[in-house]
């Protein structure tokens, strides 16, 4: 599931960055969402896989704090980025003639930066304090299942939900893989020549 998540989200980033037709605000935000999904799953899943393999549930205090910090950071960024994406669609639907003026590249970058500044200030300061001050631990099975659903399943499904069903992304991926196949064919033929 982790590999599917990383690979699917990397495909989105690759498709959008390689196709100039997809250099629009919607796909810019989608690329950022894919990057956040990769980062959020990478925060927890590798340690979880090591724990499963070694059958150990040990994590250092510093490791735990770092994991909580980055998980909260990326979860908050995910929420704010989805809000920005909703605003982008609102402008596209309700103000289509002014869309390119309103959603200019400067505003898009500013919205992404504001999203970053808001998981750091809101989530990091408040939630980390709650985790540090809490002496009680909850190790129920339902909490573990809910955690896996949020940290693994949702980021894995995002590429399918947001883009792989999208004809523009499919077209960009076909072009990218077609170009890659042509390059490989040329390289192989050049190697065959004496």
Q: What is the pLDDT of residues 111-147, one digit of tens each?
A: 888 877 766 565 455 555 555 555 445 555 555 665 6
Write the CA distances from 4 to 152, 158, 179, integer angstroms. 10, 11, 23
The boundaries of the domain holding residue 82 are: 2-192
- pTM above the 0.85 mark? no
Say which residue, 158 or 47, is predicted with more confidence.
Answer: 47
What would the DSSP string read from start to end of 132-151? HH-------HHHHHHHHIII
- Please choose, from the candidates 67, 69, 12, 15, the residue with its C-alpha nearest in 3D space to the C-alpha of residue 38: 12
Write the CA distances from 162 to 18, 85, 167, integer angstroms. 18, 11, 11
d(CA 30, CA 158): 10
Within 10 Å of residue 33's Cβ, how many Cβ atoms? 24
d(CA 146, CA 143): 5
pLDDT by residue (tens digit) across 65-102? 898 889 888 888 888 888 998 999 999 999 999 998 99
Q: What is the mean pLDDT of the chain?
A: 79
Predicted confidence at residue 133, as pLDDT, reads 52
- CATH number of the domain that residue 170 is part of: 1.20.1070.10
Instruction: Tell me 24's DSSP state.
Output: S
Cβ-based burial of 194 (10 A; exposed 0-12, middle 13-18, buried ≥19): exposed
Q: ∠62-118-7 over CA atoms, to 5°?
A: 65
Q: How many domains does the chain have?
A: 1
Q: Stretch 106-114: mean pLDDT, rounded?
A: 87
- What CA dihedral angle connects 105, 109, 111 and 112, to 10 degrees? 140
Q: Stretch 51-76: mean pLDDT, rounded?
A: 87
What are the φ/ψ torsions at residue 17 (nearest 5 degrees)?
A: -75, -25
């Amino acid at each position: 599931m982790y590999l599917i998540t990383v690979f699917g989200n990397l495909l989105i980033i690759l498709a959008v960055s390689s196709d100039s037709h997809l250099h629009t605000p919607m796909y810019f935000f989608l690329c950022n969402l894919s990057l956040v999904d990769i980062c959020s799953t990478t925060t927890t899943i590798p340690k979880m896989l090591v724990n499963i393999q070694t059958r150990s549930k040990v994590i250092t205090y510093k490791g735990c704090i770092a994991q909580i910090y980055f998980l909260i950071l990326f979860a908050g960024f995910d929420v704010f980025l989805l809000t920005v994406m909703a605003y982008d669609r609102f402008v596209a639907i309700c103000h289509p003639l002014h869309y390119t003026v309103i959603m200019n590249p400067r505003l898009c970058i500013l919205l992404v930066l504001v999203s970053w500044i808001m998981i750091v200030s809101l989530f990091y300061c408040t939630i980390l304090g709650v985790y540090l001050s809490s002496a009680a631990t909850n190790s129920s099975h339902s909490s573990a299942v809910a955690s896996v659903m949020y940290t693994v399943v949702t980021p894995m499904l995002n590429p399918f939900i947001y883009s792989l069903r999208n004809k523009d992304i499919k077209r960009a991926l076909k072009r990218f893989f077609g170009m890659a196949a042509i390059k490989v064919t040329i390289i192989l033929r050049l190697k065959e020549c004496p």
